[in-house]
Amino acid sequence: MVDWYPMAKRVCNLYRYAQVSRQANHRYLDALASVVDPARSYQLLDRVCEPAQFCGQRVRGFNPVARTDTRLFAAVMRGEHTIAGFRNGDLLKVLFPRLPAAQVLKRRLSACVTRLIQRLRAHNLVAKIPRTRRYRITTRGYVLMSAAVHLREEGLSQVLQAAA
């Protein structure tokens, strides 16, 4: 079994620092170049609208045009989550910026974010980073969520303007 240890800041670990930095840069560049072929993205959007299975339970699909789902996608795809991933608390701060003072309401909102993360995992949009409480966006997730955000912000307005 491999154990994880913090890297010492010495010259002998420079090659490992270079590897970790290169992997982080590749993940960041993959995030920037996620939507290339819109036809494939729309096929994925159709699939994510259908219900999925997660741990033997049925999980409902997403609506890529709905404001709530698009806000969730945009919160997950923020650049600050690209390198190290995101946690429940990170999404909680973005989705609910004005957290209530009552501890009971904070736990309810945290449970709501947990269910949202489970939906994302059921549709293979995010994956859990092993031995941590963090999640990372999959390649499929980048393609699909960026297409949904693009559709909501730019594509839908163009269609509505053409129809008017």
Q: Residues 6 or more apart from 123 whose CB is under 8 A from it? A: 47, 48, 52, 59, 61, 62
pTM of the complete model: 0.72
For the chain, give every domain's residue range. Answer: 12-163
CATH code: domain 12-163 is 1.10.10
The b/e string for 88-111 (b: 16+ C-beta within 10 A; e otherwise) is bebbbebbeeeeeeeeeeeeebee
What pLDDT score was predicted for residue 100?
75
Q: Of 119, 110, 115, which Cα lies nearest the Cα of 144?
A: 119
What pLDDT score was predicted for residue 2?
63
Q: What is the pLDDT along the chain (164 residues), one digit of tens a residue?
A: 566 667 777 877 788 888 888 888 888 877 776 555 667 667 777 888 899 988 889 999 998 888 899 999 999 999 888 888 999 999 999 998 887 778 888 899 999 999 999 999 999 999 999 999 999 999 888 888 888 888 777 766 665 666 55
